[in-house]
């Protein structure tokens, strides 16, 4: 006879008695990543729209800011030899985490919307930055721990 635990606890059982993870724990990450992917597609389309409407400089800045957050990997690259695969140099973690927080470009967008600046290429750059962050989250690349490993 197998023990069946209540749904929503650490473990539940199927009809045949085998233990499975609760449904909520499997669905939530998929829904979250899907939402990030939709967000990424939205910001990508917005960046392209800004580039089409406002010229090559807006497009160039959107692409530059799409790439720029990953340039934080270069901080401390000389000391990265012998580190575990996928681990970021601990000295680069604060820069990486700051460049990969969606709140930073969103706050700058809010300042842009309500401030005196009306330079469209700046808005396109922020759209590219948000697209980058959103794609990273959609594909499972989040913020890092102090030691440089991916956070769960």
pTM higher than the cut 0.85: no
φ and ψ of 125, to 5 deg: -65, -45
CA 80 to chain centre: 23
DSSP 107-150: HHHHHHHHSS---HHHHHHHHHHHHHHHHHHHTT---B-TTSPB
pLDDT tens, position by position, 80-129: 677 888 888 999 999 999 999 999 999 999 999 999 988 999 999 999 99
Asked if 143 and 88 touch (Cβ cutoff 8 Å), the reply is no
Asked if 128 and 99 touch (Cβ cutoff 8 Å), the reply is no
pLDDT tens, position by position, 9-63: 444 455 555 555 556 667 788 999 999 999 999 999 999 999 999 999 999 999 9
d(CA 88, CA 85): 9
For residue 117, list its beta bridge partners: none
* Selection from 132, 145, 116 nearest residue 44 by Cα: 132
Asked if 126 and 108 touch (Cβ cutoff 8 Å), the reply is yes
């Amino acid at each position: 006879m197998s023990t069946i635990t209540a749904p929503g606890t650490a473990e539940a059982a199927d009809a045949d008695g085998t233990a499975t993870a609760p449904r909520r724990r499997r669905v939530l990450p998929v829904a979250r990543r899907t939402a990030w992917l939709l967000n990424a597609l939205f910001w990508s389309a917005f960046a392209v729209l800004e580039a089409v409407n406002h010229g090559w400089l807006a497009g160039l800045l959107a692409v530059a800011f799409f790439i720029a957050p990953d340039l934080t990997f270069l901080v401390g690259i000389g000391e990265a030899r012998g580190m575990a695969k996928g681990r970021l140099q601990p000295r680069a973690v604060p820069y990486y985490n700051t460049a990969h927080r969606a709140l930073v470009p969103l706050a700058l967008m809010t300042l842009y919307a309500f401030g005196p600046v009306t330079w469209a290429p700046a808005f396109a750059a922020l759209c590219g930055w948000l697209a980058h962050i959103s794609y990273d989250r959609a594909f499972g690349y989040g913020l890092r721990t102090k030691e440089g490993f991916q956070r769960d």
